[in-house]
Amino acid sequence: MAPAFIFTTGIENSYPTIDHGKTRVDEMEKCGHYRHWRKDFDCVHDLGVCFLRYGPPLYRTWVGEGRYDWSFADETFNELYRRKLIPITDLCHFGVPDWIGNFQNPDFPELFARYAFDFACRFPWVQLYTPVNEMFICALFSTLYGWWNEQIKTDRAFVTALKHVVKANVLAMKAILQVRPDAFFIQSESSEYYHADNPKAIKPAELLNARRFLSLDLNYGKRLESEMYEYLLDNGMTRDEYHFFLKSHLKHHCIMGNDYYATNEHRVWEDGRTEASGEVFGYEQITRQYYYRYHLPLMHTETNTNEGPTGKEAVFWLWKEWANVLRLRNDGLPMLGFTWYSLTDQVDWDVALRENNGRVNPLGLYDLDRKPRAVGEAYKKLIKDWQHVLPMQSVCLRVPIVQPWEYKCEANGRAREYQRWEDGQGRRVLGE
């Protein structure tokens, strides 16, 4: 049986485009994972975890409609299986293949669902998925901020990207469940908060605090408050599109993953301008807001901070985030896991991947030579100290995970079912 509490890390696999689609920013390439993936899996094993947030690069794997290059995915996922590492499989991380274009493409959701189904058929032992990573951030950075992908700074572009990204996530969940009816979906989503700088900033802060929930509201089929409903309709969402989300009843397969960094809290001025405020409320307080909105099992799915001049800064941040997790769990909230993201240092995240500077950001548990940082040693000790304590606190709080090597494969039958489904009935099923 898999551990009751999910300690994990992840391989950073962002791949948005910049320069209006001319340049691909591939973090797996920049961080050396394509060359050193076996060493990276060694590092995961050394940490003492058996879960890994991981996914093949979508733009290199999905080469056309119904066409794939599985070579890298086959190598890495077969090795994960051999090593008994359980992937939380990340299918789309901030970018799409060039042939799709960007998140304004209305065909993306249905096409992506087919990709998700075919992936699940190829790796039927995979049970845990994050179909689309950080849906809100993906749409926000690609549109209103104008940093990635389409780089269109309008509310209409934001709503278009958001509805396509969330629909893709919902349809992918439905598709995967046809292969693995016992699949679980961990929505790794950024947990944000906007602080009003002065009384005149209260209204814009309130609107931004309502907007931060849109991706999960749609994903979980939650009815929207009137202001956000009108915002979506004013910017291109139709009533039928909205009702598609209301009819998607998949919450019982979901774990709400909350990502938290010091940059997740914002200061708001009366004209709507924002800037990072640093940590004010912290993970525990903001996660409570999300929990009481959706009432789903929780997982801390991302955090990190710069190693700092002494190396102790990252170690202290790890301790503080873990203390927040324990506080939530001790107060009775269903907290299932914790993640330091990512395994190794990252490159150019200090400018949110907007520039190709080649600057290494010391955010990982290991540096890019695959040597442990102080926070890596601290995380390894934290896992050793706590992994046998937390399950005893609540034996009921368990995700029914099937170990990959214990799963009985039915992929061939599922693939034949899909062929019939695709020929006449499948696309209508996905579009329900």
Percent of the chain surpassing pLDDT 70: 93
Backbone angles phi, psi at 337, to 5 degrees: -170, 170
Q: Is residue 1 part of a domain?
A: no
Per the domain annotation, does 255 fall within a domain? Answer: yes
pLDDT at 311 over 90: no
Q: How many domains would you assign to the chain?
A: 1
Q: Report the number of secondary-structure helices (H) and strands (E) in the chain.
A: 17, 17
Indicate the residue type of 413.
G
Average pLDDT over residues 404-428: 55
Q: Is the pTM of this model over 0.85?
A: yes
Classify residue 272 by its DSSP letter.
S
pLDDT at 352 over 70: yes
How confident is the model over 145-158, as a mean pLDDT?
98
The pLDDT of residue 394 is 63
pLDDT at 304 (0 to 100) = 98
Beta strand pairing call for 254-259 and 298-302: parallel
Residue pointed to by tokens 């973090």: 27
pLDDT (tens digit per residue) in 34-59: 999 999 999 999 999 999 999 999 99
Read off the pLDDT of each residue in 395-422 and give the average, rounded to a whole number: 64
Residue 170's domain comprises 6-430
CA 334 to centroid of chain Cα atoms: 19
Q: In the chain, what percentage of residues exceed pLDDT 90?
A: 88
| pLDDT score for 427 | 45
What's the whole-number average pLDDT of the chain?
93
Is 282's pLDDT higher than 60?
Answer: yes
Residue 354 lies in a domain: yes
Spatial CA neighbour of 332 closest among 301, 303, 298: 298
* pLDDT for residue 426 is more than 80: no
Residue 423: per-residue pLDDT: 36
pLDDT of residue 408: 74
Mean pLDDT of 212-232: 98
Q: What confidence tier does 4 reach under pLDDT thresholds 50, 70, 90? A: confident
Residue at 259 is within a domain? yes
15 class by beta-carbon count within 10 Å (0-12 exposed, 13-18 middle, 19+ buried): buried
Q: Taking 60 as the threshold, does the pLDDT of residue 317 lie above it?
A: yes
Q: What is the CATH number of the domain that holds 362?
A: 3.20.20.80
> What contacts 244, CB < 8 A, 6 or more positions away?
167, 170, 431
